[in-house]
Structure 1
């Protein structure tokens, strides 16, 4: 006896890359126009509570989401891989290629949402991929993308940093200056690096929804 089928658009587990088999969670709400691909910070992955909360809110707003592990379990054992921005960016591009081949996502404009070190990875990946419609970074180490990559980003970029995260504010300000694309830097008052303070993550969600909708078309 089988249970009820999952509701249409409900998040489900998928594997990305024929050889790598990267674990991911894909959710595609009805009428979605954009696909937001997540890059997590060091020591985190597709099950990140904060990014899953953001993803759920994005889906409510009519945006598809793809949360994935950028490393295999074997690769995660080597901590150097966690900070290999070029490797992480290459995995993001594999995810975009994969989405372009799937019937339910191939017509969706791809976007990136990066957190912590993932912020550097999404910008490095966007610099080499003109398909990307928009990028949002939450408390991201945007500087890790490298000056050359930052100068080549063409997708509109929103950098969101907590007001208590002073070092990362400075690093994002430098990345902002290095970029030549449409961009904005928003500082959320009273927020730390992880945006754990009451209401701060909801501000990130609202900013991200507005940014993605503006650049992929209002999904609702």
Structure 2
């Protein structure tokens, strides 16, 4: 387990090193592209699925940092009554995680991405809109943060994987990014 500090709080990171000789390819000095993997609202309740995803991404040649961003608010699960108050802290933590990731040995800081699962997609969008180092986003059935809903943000390429009949996060709330 690795970690970094955000807002005076220790943020845990599970590291999955890229497999050599895979499709992603090495950059200068043997560096590899890397992604942050951001869990959903239940953080570690479904972590085995997140870890499986991280292992699969790393086999493809990407370093993966599974960031426990809820550590910033000392939560193991999102407290929905504090969602609006806590979201800016999580988004800042994810921006700090991008900086941490870019500084890791063997990481190509010009090839960074974020995979956001459910709630994790919102701080992924917020961070990518503010940080041009993020070159791609994968959104697994997650929401667009309120702050970006009213303005067309500068975002990198996005892959959205979302069910059309999702009862929790309506797909049209995110797929409208295709129109901007």
Normalising by structure 2, we get a TM-score of: 0.77
How far apart are 1:74 and its partner, in Å? 5.8
- Rounded Cα–Cα distance in structure 2 between residues aligned with 1:22 and 1:46: 17
- Which residue number corresponds to residue 75 of structure 2? 76
Higher fraction of strand: 2
Which of 129-138 and 38-47 deviates more?
38-47
- Rounded Cα–Cα distance in structure 1 between residues aligned with 2:154 and 2:44: 25
- Rounded Cα–Cα distance in structure 1 between residues aligned with 2:156 and 2:71: 28
- Rounded Cα–Cα distance in structure 1 between residues aligned with 2:68 and 2:158: 22
User: Is the Cα contact below 8 Å between 2:121 and 2:143 reproduced in 1?
Assistant: yes
How far apart are 1:86 and its partner, in Å? 2.1
Q: Whose Rg is larger? A: 1
**Structure-2 change in CA distance of 1:143 and 1:103 (3 Å):** closer
SS in 1 for 2:106: coil
User: Is the Cα contact below 8 Å between 2:125 and 2:145 reproduced in 1?
Assistant: no
**Correspondence 1:15 to 2:3:** yes
Which of 105-114 and 50-59 deviates more?
105-114
- Rounded Cα–Cα distance in structure 2 between residues aligned with 1:61 and 1:166: 32
Aligned length: 166
User: Is the Cα contact below 8 Å between 1:24 and 1:67 reproduced in 2?
Assistant: yes
Normalising by structure 1, we get a TM-score of: 0.65
User: Is the Cα contact below 8 Å between 2:38 and 2:115 reproduced in 1?
Assistant: yes
How far apart are 1:121 and its partner, in Å? 1.4
How far apart are 1:111 and its partner, in Å? 0.5
User: Is the Cα contact below 8 Å between 2:34 and 2:64 reproduced in 1?
Assistant: yes
Q: Deviations over 1:52-106 (max 9, x none)?
A: 1111111111111000110228621782555633222111110111122222225
- Rounded Cα–Cα distance in structure 1 between residues aligned with 2:166 and 2:148: 20
RMSD of aligned Cα (Å) = 2.8
**Structure-2 change in CA distance of 1:175 and 1:35 (3 Å):** same
Structure 1, unpaired ranges of 5+: 1-12, 182-220
Structure 2, unpaired ranges of 5+: 21-25
Higher relative contact order (CA 8 A, sep 6+): 2
How far apart are 1:178 and its partner, in Å? 4.2
Which segments of structure 1 move beyond 6 Å, counting only runs of 4 or more? none
